[in-house]
Structure formats: C-alpha cells, structure tokens
Chain A
Amino acid sequence: MNAPSPAQDTAPMPPLARHLIEAGDHFIGRLQQGQRLRIVDLEGNQAADTLFYNACDVAERYSAVDTVREQGSLYLTTGSVLRSTLNRPMLRIVDDSCGRHDTLGGACSSESNTVRYALDRRHMHSCRDNWMLAIAHHPEYGLTKRDIGHNINFFMNVPVTPEGGLDFAEGISGPGKYVELVSEMDVVVLISNCPQLNNPCSGFDPTPIELLIWRH
C-alpha cells in the first residue's frame, strides 16, 4: 500500500497537533473546551468509530440516543449537537464535507462478527478490540469496558428505510472528506479506525484517517 498523504490543510491557522491513524489503529487523547477537531477520511469510504467522554468524569459519555432524540433525526451532520448520557452538549459538528454520519450501527466487535458473518470470524480484528487495547495501554484516562458505549461511525452510511429496515450501504464519503467538531466541554476522544473486512462499507480495503486539532 502507498504511504498515506497528509490532508490538505485549508484552515488559515496551522493546527496544534495532527495525528495519522492507520486502518486498525486507535487514538486516545484529550480535547479542551473550545478546541476544534477535524477528522479527515484520507482515501475515502473509511469508518472512524468514535467515543467521547467528559474528561472530568468519564462516567458521563457520548449518548447516541440522547443525541438523535434531541435533534429529532438519526443522522449526524453540520449543526448536530453530540449529547452525553446526562443529556448535556459535549461537542458540536461545525463543518462536514461528507454530509451524513451514522450513530445507530455501533462498532464492530469480534463477538458480533461471529453473529453477523460466521462463527469462525472471531479472530478478525475489530473496533471494540481496538478500544480495549487503547484503554489497557492508557489507564491514565480511567476507562474500562463498562465505559464502552454506543458510538459514532464518522463517514459511515447506515440508512433506515421508511419500512424500518436497516442497511449497511456503500459509503457516501470520498478521499479528503472531513468532519469538524468544536468541543463544548473538556473531553477524552477515543477512536478506532475501523479494520472491518466483512462488509462493503470500506470497499474491503480499510484506509488511514487523520486528525487535526486547533486551539479555537
């Protein structure tokens, strides 16, 4: 595979930090209130499985159900307010060149892969295994399995039909598409760059993403 090229930086200010996350790798870090995070889908059709925690008390964390109920809509895009398990605003999506992100489908795991695909897929790398490694390597954040909740899949398309069906559709993302968020509180960010090889969401070729962080 070719070395991934860094994202085009279209913002006026250079970022405080940038992190490249290859497919199947993870990121854990802090974002201060008011900081801006851009997640870039470098090669397109990748899924960034993301969790957020209140950095002061990680028992309060991103809640998909509070988020979709309060905005009255299943999909996330510019203007969406990401809410916590206490129904408080955690982050806001301020820019989105992709147009739609999923928060219904959850993250892949070796256990759910056995159900969804075949019992012998258990050994395949998954997002939840990725998160487990991240929290095991970083006890300083105080996260354990009990804190692993219902996440966001940035760049992923999981349309619900009016009849109530659920589909994992071809991605609507593309190379260089990004989503940008502003933090409303100090948060811990936990991302698995999805290694999923069982469904067509990444065209069976998981690719890198990049994070850019600005002070404001």
Chain B
Amino acid sequence: MNLVPDVDYRTRLPGGQHWSLRLRRGASLTLIAEEPGCNVGLLLYSAEQPLERLNLPDTLKCQHTFHLGRGHCLYSDMGRVLASIVEDDCGGHDAVGGNLGPGHFEAKGWRRIRYQQGRNERTQSGHESVLIELAKYGLGLADLSANLNLFSKLAVDEQGRLRYLPDHCAAGDRVTLRFELDVLVMLHTCPHPLDPSPDYPHRGVKIELGTLPPPDRTDVCLSHCAENARGFDNNRLYLLGQ
C-alpha cells in the first residue's frame, strides 16, 4: 500500500502563526518540522456539522494509548474517524498539554512582543490562535476542545507526573494525516505550553497538501486494532448513499 501522498500544494506556516482549511475526505496533510522542538496545535471539526469534533479522550481510550503516532486514528465524539496518522517520524504526540495561553507569558518569563514592535514576529498564544480560527466558522470558546500537540511529547511517571521532553522532535520530522471525512482543520505553530525555552521560540513547519487512496483492510490505521475497524465501519454507515 503506497502511503506517499500525491502532493498538490506546498506552503509554510512560520512559528507562532495559525491557519485553518476545510479538507475533503481523501485529502492528506503532511507537516514537516523546520527546526528541533517544533509544536503544531491541531483541532478537527466535521465540516458538515461542526458539533461533531475531535474527541481526544475517546481517541486515547479506543486505542488504549496515552501517546498518538503512526497507525492511530483521530476520533470524533460520534464514534467516527475524522483523520488517521498514516506516516509519522516522530510519534508520542501529546494529547493532554493543551494550548499556550496569554497567562503563561509572565509565568514563563517570556517577552510579550506586540505587533507594533515585532510585526509578524509578534508572540501569539495558541489559545488566542484557536479562538481566531474558530470565529471564522461561527464557532467560539464553547467549541474549544482539547487539542493535539503534534511533534511534542510528555512523559508520565508512575505517580502520573508529567515531564516535557524538549529534544523530542528533530528538524525534518514528518507527520502525515489522511482525512477520512470532510473536516475543518485548525492549526497553529505556537510553542507548547510546557516548552522550557528561555524565550518564546518561533519554529515553523512546511505543509504539503495532497491526496491518498482510501484505506483497505491492510491499512496501517484501519488494521491497527479491532476498535479502528469498527470506527471505519461507523464512517461507512455515515457515508451510505454518497
């Protein structure tokens, strides 16, 4: 099975920026870290009915994992697969760290650079980035759910204590998502809220958009576990008549 997408479009998201796009079923999105320590905050909503959205608790427990990586599906709250992680150099993606908020700057000792001073090197928060993108679709704070932090990893010890791993992602690491339904994708490149850098890091990603064939029974995500096969069965039911 060829999981190398047909790339139609290339672009770049500099560090500390945000973006959204509606992507159709069968589309692929590849993110390529430009520097070590990149972070991409990701949220997904059904393009048809945004009340259906990425649900990380369901995603983790359906696949009995705390970390997400190649072979894992990203589930909606309605038991369907919104996207699959079909290729992934990095693994361990964080599902519990949430977004950098405006309140973190002072606590971390990070300078807040406003547009007047920094122009497009201003220091945006992931929280505000998501609110900006949500508002473009008539969505708001009530639609803010837990985001995935791609390229960032948190380790957990026996007591449940969390530890951010600063050297987890290397420059050039790639993650490819395949969209299994029509989805609104929201991305930001603001730093992980537990990033210990002495000042706000601007770390960008390259983006490749393309297409991939639909999964068959040997697909790395569909065949990952019996749960994922049932998730794709739920998608099939949703798509009946299309």
Does A pair with B? Answer: yes
- Residues of A at the B interface (CB closer than 8 Å) are 58-61, 63-66, 68-69, 72-75, 85-87, 100, 104-107, 109, 111-116, 118-119, 128, 145-150, 158-162, 164-168
Min CB gap A51→B, angstroms: 12
CB distance from B190 to the nearest CB of A (A): 14
A60, A69, A75 — which one has the most chain B CB atoms within 10 A of its CB? A69
Asked if A118 contacts B146 (CB within 8 A), the reply is no
**B96-A65 in contact (CB<8A):** yes
Q: List 11 A-B contacts (CB under 8 A).
A: A59-B141, A65-B146, A85-B144, A87-B103, A106-B61, A112-B62, A112-B79, A119-B230, A128-B77, A160-B66, A164-B66
Is B162 an interface position by the 8 A CB rule? yes
Q: Tell me if B36 counts as interface (CB < 8 A to partner A).
A: no
Decide: A164 near B145, CB < 8 A? Known: A63-B98, A73-B160: no
B92 near A164: Cβ-Cβ < 8 Å: yes
* Bound CA–CA A166/B57 (angstroms): 11
Tell me the bound Cα distance from A16 to B150 in angstroms.
Answer: 47
Which chain A residue has the least Cβ–Cβ distance from B76?
A: A111
A114, B60: Cβ atoms under 8 Å? no
- Which of B24-32, B151-159, B171-179 contacts the other chain? B151-159
B55 neighbours in A (Cβ, 8 Å): 106, 112, 150
In the complex, are the beta carbons of A114 and B142 less than 8 A apart? no
Which residues of B in the span 31-83 have a Cβ within 8 Å of any Cβ on A? 51, 55-58, 60-62, 64-67, 75, 77-80
Instruction: Say whether A109 contacts B77, CB under 8 Å.
Output: yes
Question: In the complex, which residue of chain A has the Cβ closest to the Cβ of B78?
Answer: A111
Q: Which residue of A lies closest to B107 (CB)?
A: A70
Interface of A is mostly: loop
Task: Given A85-B144, A116-B227, A150-B56, check contact A66 B98 (CB 8 Å).
Answer: yes
Q: Are A75 and B160 in contact (CB under 8 A)?
A: yes
Kindly state the separation between the CA atoms of A109 and B58 in the bound complex, as whole angstroms.
9
Q: Which residues of A contact B161 (CB under 8 A)?
A: 72-74
| CA distance in complex: A63, B146 (Å) | 8
Would you call B234 and A111 a contact (CB within 8 A)? yes
Taking the closest CB of chain A, its distance from the CB of B53, in whole angstroms, is: 9
CA distance A111 to B101 in the complex (A): 32
Report the Cα distance A64→B143, complex, angstroms: 15
Q: Which residues of B contact A116 (CB under 8 A)?
A: 61-62, 227
Contact check, A166 vs B98: say whether CB atoms are below 8 A apart.
no
What are the residues of chain B within 8 A of A69 when measuring CB–CB? Answer: 96-98, 162, 193-194
CB distance from B77 to the nearest CB of A (A): 7
B90-128 to A contact mask, C-beta < 8 Å, 1/0: 001000111101010000000000000000000000010
Q: Is B231 positioned at the interface, with any CB of A under 8 Å from its CB?
A: yes
A147 touches B142 (CB 8 A): yes
On chain B, the residues within 8 Å of A105 by CB distance are: 57, 60-61
Q: Does B140 contact A (CB under 8 A)?
A: yes
Q: If A74-B162, A147-B142, A162-B156 touch, does A115 touch B227 (CB 8 Å cutoff)?
A: yes
How far in angstroms is the closest Cβ of chain A from B74? 12
A30 CA to B93 CA, complexed, in Å: 37
Closest A residue to B57 by beta carbon equals A106
B159 to A164, Cβ gap below 8 A? no
Least Cβ–Cβ distance between A117 and chain B, in angstroms: 9
Chain A residues with Cβ below 8 Å from B60 are: 104-105, 166
Closest chain-A Cβ to B193's Cβ sits at a distance in Å of 6
Q: Which of A115, A119, A150 has the most CB of B within 10 A?
A: A115
- Whole-angstrom CA separation of A111 from B234 in the bound complex: 9
